[in-house]
Amino acid sequence: MVLRSSSAGGAGARRFPPDLDPSGMADPPSLQCRAMKPDQARRFLARRGNPGEAWVAHSFQVAKVADRLGRALLQQQPDLDLDLDRVYVQALLHDVGRSVAHSPLHGWTGFVLLRARGESDAGRGCLAHWLKGRNRREMVATSDLSQGFVDRVFQSWQPDRWTLTDSLVSVADSSVANTTIVPLAQRHADLYRRYGDSRWLRRAEELALEHSQEIGQHLGRPVDSLLAPLYGQNLSLWPDSQSSA
């Protein structure tokens, strides 16, 4: 998988709305960042996605996994700096950029979409599941994105340190193959099957495993042992109880 921006041009280049175009886009003025609540995130997703779309069901599954992990972490270590609402919201909206374009850059697109609403905190999950902990140098080396664009992305990555919430979003996304909750290895095997083997995907799997091990250290048990009861659970339609929230 190679990430391409629309600046490459040509007849086959994907066109983004002007405010979401990653090529040479000027950053908007700073907006006050609000803390979006889960019910607000579900309503926002309802406006952006259709119940029958796989990415919407995938998003609910990722939020379910992230929430389960977050609750288990706080039960084990109540003093952890972890906000369950933030975990859920960032996980639920991590793929919202797909409502604009099913592009390798949907993580950035989703972040910009939410930032324009003053919801950059909610949009952090969009960046976290895309960057996966890579630094600037690695992003440039493993994609054809320009240094300038990568710099702009990382200027938006605030705080600039990788957090436990970021790891939860990363692992949760790597635990859902399409709309089914699965072990990490199965999820990444599905990605190789769909997109082909690549340095980008290999690194994504390595980073997801690192994040899983980090969470497991806090839990005092492997992540697999906590998520195993969920493996195989599929969600093909929008959950009625959540779509109306």
Segments in the chain forming alpha helices (H): 38-48, 54-76, 84-92, 106-115, 120-131, 136-141, 147-155, 164-173, 184-195, 199-219, 223-227, 240-243
Q: Of 6-10, 45-49, 193-197, which range is least confident?
A: 6-10
222 — pLDDT class (breaks 50, 70, 90): very high
**Phi first, then psi: what are they for 181, rounded to 5°?**
-80, 125
Q: Spell out the long-range contacts of 152-156 with Cβ–Cβ below 8 A and sequence spacing 24 or more.
A: 152/25, 152/27, 153/108, 153/127, 155/27, 156/27, 156/111, 156/115, 156/120, 156/127
Q: Model's pTM, two decimal places?
A: 0.85
Structure tokens at 142: 């493993």
pLDDT > 90: percent of the chain: 77
What's the pLDDT at 52? Answer: 84
Between residues 27 and 208, which one has the greater pLDDT? Answer: 208
**6-31: average pLDDT:** 41
What's the pLDDT at 24? Answer: 42
Contact 122, 89 (CB under 8 A): yes
**Segment 57-89, tens digit of pLDDT:** 999 999 999 999 999 999 999 999 999 999 999
**Phi first, then psi: what are they for 239, rounded to 5°?**
-65, 120
Q: List, in order of start, the domains of the chain with CATH numbers.
A: 46-234 (1.10.3210)
11 — pLDDT class (breaks 50, 70, 90): very low
**Phi first, then psi: what are they for 172, rounded to 5°?**
-60, -45
14 — pLDDT class (breaks 50, 70, 90): very low
157 — pLDDT class (breaks 50, 70, 90): very high
Contact 104, 204 (CB under 8 A): no
Contact 125, 93 (CB under 8 A): yes
- Whole-angstrom distance, CA of residue 58 vs CA of residue 54: 6
What's the pLDDT at 239? Answer: 62
Torsion of CA 49, 55, 56, 61, to 10 degrees: -170
**93-116: average pLDDT:** 97
Whole-angstrom CA distances from 171 to 77, 177, 179, 228 are 19, 12, 15, 14
Q: Is the pLDDT of residue 172 over 60?
A: yes
